[in-house]
């Protein structure tokens, strides 16, 4: 390569640090959630795919991943059984798939398994299989029954909270240690709700200490749902933080991720030297990539990118049997995506918070006219959240000069979280 010549995306030597595989093992659901984009969002393509993934698809996925681990020097592969409702699959198939995926582990690549469930299908047999295979459990739930049940009912209209409470109580009673380590909740925030109440319900009634909260998937084209403002969601994030500080016995993923930005050893010298060497060798490092695999083996980009409709529609259509991950990731649409992640939006370049925010989640930056070159639609709310957290850190003795140093640093999504 001549001096100054820039490699096109299709010619770059790629490395993936972490690959998240969303394996849609069941493309049907026993709930009828009112806001479900998958079954009630207008896209009916799930009807053309098998309701359940055959074991042969999992075998093909294992082969695909084995090749990808070598080709892309992947350090971590996180495989999430997803749906629909993944626990509608046959238990024997689930156990066989776990065995296939665990066999991918190498000295250099860590393999982890998880299931994202609506929490209504726990039984003694399922619980034993989950524990035996050390599967992390994410429970999608909105809050206490008054919040959860109107939006997450069964198809007969009955609320799902009772089954969730019953199933989690059974799992907790069978193995409380496993429950504490491996069970968490995942909730999409709604500014209409009081999240101090929600946090208390998750911790005290469901027994869940590890909680995650997502901002809605929306873009500048869509606007924030229900006519809410970014400031409304800033108040929600601050309420979550206040609940966390008040309780002192829970972990909130979004708070932990932000605190990590202020850790002195965020990326070790060894880890940074390794990344510098890769860059010097012309290697394009992808810190984290999310790959969706459907029940028929079709590949798709992360569902969270749905708000970036024009970009998502340009993503390649492929199948486990017809491509490799290395070839799939060289599609031009990924060049735009990862370039956007590395490049701050024009409107963010002078922002105090750029070093820890990076412009916000990429899907919340999208607009049809400027594509990813926008601050997050939740920008004002994120600033409110950061101000609250930094104020807490300083009031508890974190050096002000260290805060300034962190805020003046460059946000790097490719190295984030990868200390070695």
Distance of CA 224 to the CA centre of its chain: 20
Q: Look at residue 183 and give its three-state secondary structure.
A: strand
- The pTM of the full predicted model, rounded to 2 decimals, is 0.92
Tokens 């206490």 sit on residue: 144
Helical residues (DSSP H) of 152-223, grouped into ranges = 161-174, 176-182, 195-204
Q: Among residues 363, 361, 131, which one has the least CA distance to residue 254?
A: 361
Beta pairing, strands 318-319 & 13-24 = unpaired
- The encoded tokens of residue 30 equal 């026993």
Tokens 């370039």 sit on residue: 339
Contacts for 253 with CB less than 8 Å, ≥ 6 apart: 184, 210, 211, 212, 213
User: Alpha-carbon distance 344 to 363, whole Å?
Assistant: 14
Question: For each of the chain's 420 residues, which pLDDT tens digit applies?
Answer: 344 445 455 557 899 999 999 999 999 999 999 989 888 777 788 899 999 999 999 999 999 999 999 999 999 999 999 999 999 999 999 999 999 999 999 999 999 999 999 999 999 999 999 999 999 999 999 999 999 999 999 999 999 999 999 999 999 999 999 999 999 999 999 999 999 999 999 999 999 999 999 999 999 999 999 999 999 999 999 999 999 999 999 999 999 999 988 875 555 555 556 666 776 667 788 889 999 999 999 999 999 998 998 998 888 889 999 999 999 999 989 989 988 988 899 999 999 999 889 999 999 999 999 999 999 999 999 999 999 999 999 999 998 888 888 887 766 555 443 332
Beta pairing, strands 210-214 & 183-188 = parallel
- The encoded tokens of residue 233 equal 């969601």
User: Alpha-carbon distance 80 to 135, whole Å?
Assistant: 9
- The encoded tokens of residue 43 equal 């896209």
Main-chain phi, psi angles of 279, to 5 degrees? -60, -45
Main-chain phi, psi angles of 300, to 5 degrees? -150, 155
Does residue 411 contact residue 354 with C-beta atoms inside 8 Å?
Answer: yes
Contacts for 70 with CB less than 8 Å, ≥ 6 apart: none
């Amino acid at each position: 390569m001549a001096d100054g010549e820039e490699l096109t995306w299709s010619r770059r030597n790629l490395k993936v640090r972490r690959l998240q595989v969303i394996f849609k093992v069941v493309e049907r659901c026993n709930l009828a959630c009112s806001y479900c984009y998958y079954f009630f969002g207008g896209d009916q393509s799930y009807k053309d795919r098998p309701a359940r993934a055959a074991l042969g698809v999992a075998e093909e996925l294992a082969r695909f991943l084995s090749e990808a681990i070598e080709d892309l020097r992947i350090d971590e592969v996180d495989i999430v059984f997803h749906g629909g409702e993944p626990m509608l699959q046959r238990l024997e198939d689930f156990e066989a798939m776990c065995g296939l995926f665990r066999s991918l582990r190498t000295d250099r690549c860590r393999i982890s398994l998880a299931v994202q469930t609506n929490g209504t299908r726990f039984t003694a047999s399922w619980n034993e299989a989950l524990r035996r295979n050390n599967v992390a459990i994410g429970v999608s739930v909105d809050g206490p029954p008054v919040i959860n049940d109107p939006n997450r009912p069964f198809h007969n209209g009955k609320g799902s909270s009772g089954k969730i409470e019953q199933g989690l109580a059974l799992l907790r009673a069978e193995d409380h240690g496993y429950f504490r380590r491996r069970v968490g909740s995942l909730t999409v925030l709604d500014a209409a709700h009081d999240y101090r109440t929600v946090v208390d319900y998750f911790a005290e009634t469901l027994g869940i200490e590890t909680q995650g909260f997502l901002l809605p998937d929306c873009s500048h084209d869509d606007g924030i749902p229900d006519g809410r403002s970014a400031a409304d969601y800033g108040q929600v994030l601050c309420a979550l933080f206040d609940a966390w500080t008040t309780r002192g016995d829970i972990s909130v993923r979004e708070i932990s991720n932000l605190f990590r930005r202020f850790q002195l050893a965020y990326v070790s010298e060894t880890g940074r030297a390794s990344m510098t060497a890769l860059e010097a060798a012309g290697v394009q490092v992808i810190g984290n990539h999310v790959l969706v695999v459907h029940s028929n083996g079709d590949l798709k980009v992360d569902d969270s990118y749905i708000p970036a409709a024009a970009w998502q529609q340009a993503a390649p259509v492929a199948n486990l049997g017809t491509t490799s991950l290395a070839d799939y990731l060289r599609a031009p649409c990924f060049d735009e995506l990862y370039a956007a992640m590395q490049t701050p939006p024009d409107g963010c370049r002078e922002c105090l918070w750029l070093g820890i925010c990076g412009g916000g989640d990429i899907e919340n930056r999208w607009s049809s006219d400027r594509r990813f070159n926008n601050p997050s639609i939740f920008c004002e709310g994120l600033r409110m959240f950061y101000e609250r957290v930094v104020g807490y850190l300083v009031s508890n003795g974190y050096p002000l000069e260290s805060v300034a140093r962190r805020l003046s640093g460059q946000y790097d999504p490719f190295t984030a979280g990868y200390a070695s």
